Chains A and B, each alone.
Chain A
Amino acid sequence: MDVLTLGFMQRALVACVVVSAVAPLVGTFVVQRGQSLTGDGMGHVAFAGVGLAFLVGVAPLVGALALTVLAALALYRTERSGLAGDLSLALVFYGGIAAGYLFATRSGGGLNAVLGLLFGSALDLTWGQVAAVVALALVVLVAVVALYGPLVALAFDESAARVAGVPVDGLVLTLTLVVALVVVGGMYALGLLLVSAMMVIPVAAAAQVATSYRATMRLAAAIGAGSAAVGLLAAYAGDATPASSIVLVAIGCYVVATVVRARRRRPRAAGSVAS
């Protein structure tokens, strides 16, 4: 494994594995709430944030973070105002891509760099960028651990959670902000368009074989981390783009999990009696 002695591979591995392990932890709540595309919408807003950062001359991370936090607040307000969930997401989604392209074209030389962040460039990361990714992931991890019980209650049933005394409104806003942090944290390594895939696909794969929510969450994080490691090494060996390779490995895990689930069910279906 000489490849692991290469500095750029070490940096890519740390960043991709950390992001891909943490993203499904958040994705478990997002998927359960039927909001699988929230991360995708946030990615488009982060695109606008990066474009704006190049336009005004600040770090892309700062621009992405600022606009995704604002978008999280806007998404929360529009959802709570009674606008259908997918409609408010669509407004954020299209607004982000339009503004991002406008800012990027106005920023002159920044256009290529902005477009590069759409699919990430894991092999070009600096240790400073890796440190930023790990720091954002730690914030997300602490938030998920601290809020686990209330988030589970919210994800299962918002009305019942509210009656149980869970501060639902603040929690929904916090969850949206955490999604924004994951997207921004993953933009260098996986890209703004594909980072949200790691919030959803490992969760979908884990749900095929797990029997509890907690097990789904843990298995999804393992699938995410494993997909990142395998995908990155495969990309290096096959001279492919890392983000595409990682997401395709995760999809492969989903296919394998559905086969495992089908094989488990077959003998049971033949011999079971309904209770």
Chain B
Amino acid sequence: MTAAVALELDAVGFGYGRDAVLHDADLRVREGELVAVVGANGAGKTTMLKLALGLLAPTSGVVRLFGTPVASFRDWQRVGYVPQRAAAASVLPVSVDEVVRSGLAGALGLWRRPDAAQRARIAHVLDLLGLAAVRAAPVATLSGGQQQRALIARALVTAPRLLVLDEPTTGVDAAARATLRASLEHLVHDEHVAVVYSSHDPHALRGLADRVVEVRDGGLHDVAPAAAPAPGGGR
């Protein structure tokens, strides 16, 4: 059975003033599929992701999330977003637990506190990302890799079917990249989550990405399938 399309860009165009950043961009990402979006700094990767999430409105074309135009999409619990880490720097002390819980804000609304299932999900994602031991620690005292994983845990706390990550390995060490890769492998293979992952490094997800799409000259270009199977991964 063909997996459902989680994200679809249909002839999407966008520009700042007269400067076109994207034109006629097409992309389909199905559940259980990992698509790496690569390109030079400033090529338009973040713009493309923001269009995909409805944070920017396209000047032409349509973006759909799970078949619904993004402008009228309301089921945001099915979507997780990990922005660039620098964009999430905290002025005041904030614990890992608080960052992760904040991902439930839209689902909880006013007054309500996480129920037993949501608390169990928080514990699960903290465990999945190796953060259980530092749950109460201030995020600012953690390594760059741990901070990045806290943001990923926040995005995963609603058990999304689509996860969008913007340059998640910027400024993190090799060990943290390996942990992140293992977490993504679990999400895609075992939980069949659709993942869109942007990176300036075209080899960032070699062996794990189903497709690699390059943002270049305002367009999206399929550049290569997964170049080599991941060790023991079979992909």
Contacts and interface: CB of A to CB of B under 8 A. Distances in A.
B210 interface: no
Closest 5 CB pairs of A and B: A165-B106, A165-B76, A153-B105, A164-B106, A163-B81
Contacts of B74: 165
Nearest to B74: A165
A132 interface: no
A152 B93 contact: no
A213 B155 contact: no
A166 interface: yes
Contacts of B111: 145-146
Contacts, number: 117
B88 A157 contact: yes
A160 B155 contact: yes
Nearest to B103: A164
Interface of B: 50, 53-55, 74, 76-77, 79-83, 87-88, 90-95, 97-99, 101-112, 136-138, 142-143, 146, 151, 154-155, 158, 164
- Grouping DSSP codes into helix (H, G, I), strand (E, B) and loop, the B interface class, with mixed when no group exceeds half, is mixed
Nearest to A29: B92
Contacts of B87: 157, 159
Given A149-B102, A161-B106, A164-B158, A156 B94 contact: yes
Contacts of B143: 274-275
20 contacts: A146-B110, A149-B110, A150-B105, A153-B106, A156-B88, A159-B83, A160-B82, A160-B103, A160-B155, A163-B53, A163-B81, A164-B102, A165-B74, A165-B76, A210-B92, A212-B95, A212-B136, A216-B93, A274-B143, A275-B143
Contacts of A157: 83, 87-88, 102
- Grouping DSSP codes into helix (H, G, I), strand (E, B) and loop, the A interface class, with mixed when no group exceeds half, is helix
B105 A31 contact: no
Contact of A160 (B54, B81, B90): B81
Interface string A145-183: 111011011101101111111100000000000000000
A7 interface: no
A207 B93 contact: yes
Interface in A24-39: 28, 31-32, 34
A211 interface: yes
B95 A153 contact: no
Contacts of B102: 149, 152-153, 156-157, 160-161, 164
Interface residues of A, number: 33
B92 A216 contact: yes
Nearest to B50: A159
Nearest to B75: A165
A214 interface: yes
Contacts of A210: 92-93
A269 to B, nearest CB: 12
Contacts of B108: 149
Contacts of B82: 160
Interface centre among B103, B106, B111, B151 (most CB of A within 10 A): B106
A215 interface: yes
B99 A156 contact: yes
Nearest to B155: A160
A127 to B, nearest CB: 32
Contact of B55 (A150, A162, A165): A162
Contacts of A149: 101-102, 104-105, 108-110, 112
A45 interface: no
Given A212-B94, A213-B92, A165 B77 contact: yes
B159 to A, nearest CB: 13
A203 interface: yes
B95 A211 contact: yes
Contacts of A163: 53-55, 76, 79-81, 164
